[in-house]
Amino acid sequence: MKYTVIQTPRGAKDILPPEAYKKNRLEQRVAEYVERWGYDRITTPTFEFYDAVAQGDGPEMASKLYRFVDRDGTMLALRPEMTIPIARVAATRFQPGDMPLRLYYIGSAFRYDEPQAGRYREFTQAGVELLGPARPEADAEVVALALGVIEHMGLSSFRVDLGHSRYINGLLEGAGEERLVSSLRQAMLDQDYVRYEDLIKESGLDKPRQAALLALPTLRGDASVLDEALGYAKGIEGAAKAVENVREVLSLVRAYGFEDRVSVDFGMIKDLDYYSGLLIEGYTPELGFSLCTGGRYDRLVGRFGRHVPATGFAFGIERAMLALDKQGWDEKPPTADVFLTGATVNSVGAIALFDVAAKLRQQGVRVELDVDGLSEKQSIERAAQRGIPQVLRLLETEKDDPTVELVDGGEKTFQGSLSQGLEHVRGVRQKTSTA
Ligand code: AMP
């Protein structure tokens, strides 16, 4: 492909105003919400040792890594997600006495994905990790928090499905032969159910085992699926316990008041091999792919030296933005309140003008300064063009209390001393002293 200096690489994009403003607002909203649940922000480097990132990868994720060699020959990788770095931090920078640890992050992740709407090579992930407790209450908190944050972002239609890694792994591994197990797993990951069924029918497995595997992709829906799933779990290690674990979390999530928003899906499967329990996936009808994913990963932190049970979820900020846009999200960066103009040709004029600007800004008024030396007419036109409701024009600067003119909504509303004029500026909160 032709390299050009005027483009960004595939899958990396510029975020211009007003999108950047909306993105920032959304991130603020997420931070504000999760902080109310007692989560503290953490940031980790965008690149890590490749070996650290590789601690949590499935085969597909490994092929999506951005890898590069440091000048000293060490292999590094851009983080493809944030759970692995946080697991490293939890094991190495915190003590058992710090648990339970509630952490959240908002930051870039990098994957060699095929770019399309909602799928980028650099994207922003926001998420939480609850480290320490292994009880279903911790998983339920994370599920309720995922639901709560999606709601708080302003999405009106969404749902979260719960699955379990020990259920799906138990059933798949029950197929015995390693090659068959890995083909079945890949077919499920690809959602290629035709191939999945063919593999089972050609497998020679006994009928009950075949029936359980064939049922796996269909074990989704409301709580009634739990008993059906339990029926197929007979004789499969851990699978019955997994169903009971989902049942417990589901009833706790209901107690949080999210009854209508949660379903179960025992066919849920993840490419990341660190999941060890409950699996979470959140959807909204505006997107053709998941909005948020997560689950329990009790074995990951231990790979960095200290065993710590943990659970969490992550979602893509750009995906949430896409869904909100489809819902008609109309949030614009605020324009300035005042267009401030006046001669700056001599230092007296400049000092007076900058002083007025500073006084207004101190009171929370957004001021856009004329740096083009515009005439009165041009200033009014400029303000109208930029949607700025008021023009404050410094007419004379030699006096201690110079003369100003205020045009508000196209009408001249004041002419007189600056000390009185500032009081007429809309948005000024207190009386201004212009001593
Ligand atoms: P994962 O770590 O694959 O479970 O992804 C977690 C969340 O990150 C997904 O639910 C998406 O919202 C988001 N995400 C994953 N990959 C991408 C991507 N290539 N571009 C944008 N968002 C992504």
- % residues pLDDT > 70 (the chain): 96
Residue 433 pLDDT grade (very low, low, confident, very high; cuts 50, 70, 90)? very low
pLDDT of residue 344: 66
User: Is the distance from the beta carbon of residue 125 to the nearest atom of ligand 1 less than 6 Å?
Assistant: yes
Instruction: Decide: residue 146, CB within 10 A, 0-12 exposed, 13-18 middle, 19+ buried.
Output: buried
> For residue 59, is pLDDT > 80?
no
Structural contact between residues 427 and 420, judged by C-beta atoms closer than 8 angstroms:
no
CA of 316 to the centre of ligand 1 (A): 5
Ligand 1 contact, 110 CB (< 6 A): no
What was the pLDDT predicted at 346? Answer: 67
Angstrom distance (rounded) from CA 158 to CA 290: 11
CA–centroid distance, 314 to ligand 1, in Å, is 8
The 10s digit of each residue's pLDDT in 158-205 is 999 999 999 999 999 888 888 999 999 999 999 999 999 999 999 988
pLDDT at 432 over 70: no
Helix (H, G, I), strand (E, B) or coil at 387: coil
Tell me the per-residue pLDDT of 304-334, one tens digit each, with 9 for 90 and over.
999 999 999 999 999 999 999 999 999 999 9
Say yes or no: CB of residue 314 within 6 Å of ligand 1. yes
Closest C-alpha among 244, 304, 254, 246 to residue 274: 304
Burial of 37 (0-12, 13-18, 19+ CB in 10 A): middle
Give the number of the atom of ligand 1 that is nearest the alpha carbon of residue 125.
Answer: 8
The answer to whether the CB of 315 falls within 8 A of the CB of 366 is: no
Cα separation of 219 and 214, whole Å? 10
Q: Residue for token digits 């059933």?
A: 171
What is residue 57's DSSP assignment?
Answer: -
CA distances from 322 to 52, 80, 113 (A): 32, 21, 18
Distance from residue 235's CA to the centre of ligand 1 (Å): 35
Distances (CA, A) of 141 to 144, 149, 179, 325: 5, 12, 37, 28
Are 148 and 260 a contacting pair, CB within 8 Å? no
Integer Cα distance of 252 and 369 in angstroms: 55
**pLDDT per residue as tens digits for the range 356-410:** 999 999 989 999 999 999 999 999 999 999 999 999 999 887 777 888 999 998 8
135: pLDDT confidence band, cut at 50, 70 and 90?
Answer: very high
Helix (H) or strand (E) holding 63: helix 59-63
Instruction: Reply yes or no on whether the pLDDT at 68 is more than 80.
Output: yes
What kind and span of H or E run contains 163?
strand 159-164
What's the chain's average pLDDT?
Answer: 92
Question: What is the number of residues in the chain?
Answer: 435
CA of 110 to the centre of ligand 1 (A): 10
Per-residue DSSP letter, 98: G
Please report the atom of ligand 1 found closest to the CA of residue 290. Answer: 10
Pairing, β 278-283 against β 310-316: unpaired
Task: Report helix, strand or coil for 124.
Answer: strand
Among 22-26, 99-103, 240-244, 342-346, which stretch is predicted with the lowest mean pLDDT? 342-346
Ligand 1 pocket check for 403: Cβ under 6 Å: no
Ligand 1 centre distance from Cα of residue 261 (Å): 21
